[in-house]
Structure 1
């Protein structure tokens, strides 16, 4: 099973890269597949690549679902 995660862009770097925050973990990813991404935007990240942009409301809903799943797993 493959899983793509919403991530907030913290900093746009050189060479089509960006520093993103995924649940408190910061990671450098490639923006080479998505145009027009800026700091504060949300992207869907899969295996180190942003594969699409995501609006903030949809990112919040998706992240809330992941939190619910984590809570259920702990219960």
Structure 2
């Protein structure tokens, strides 16, 4: 299963960003995004690429749902 994860941008260097969620940091290319991305923005990261920018409320809501779903799987 492939999952794109909402992550917050912590730094940007040209077309590359360092993103973080729950203490996990990943590099992500910004080259697929037409929208401007700034430090503090949330993006969906999939396979090393930021594929979409989203607002903080949507990001936090999505993360809460993902945590709930994956915690249920951990119990099985």
> Which TM-score bucket, shorter chain as reference?
0.7 to 0.9
- Aligned Cα root-mean-square deviation (Å): 1.3
- Structure 1 segments, 4+ long, off by >3 Å, are none
Matched residue, 2:68: 68
Q: TM-score, normalised by structure 1?
A: 0.88
Paired with 1:66 and 1:23, the residues of 2 have a C-alpha distance of 13
Structure 2 runs not aligned, ≥5 long: none
Matched residue, 1:36: 36
Deviations 1:1-50 (A, max 9, x none): 3211111000111x300000033211111000113000000001110000
Paired with 1:26 and 1:62, the residues of 2 have a C-alpha distance of 18
Matched residue, 2:6: 6
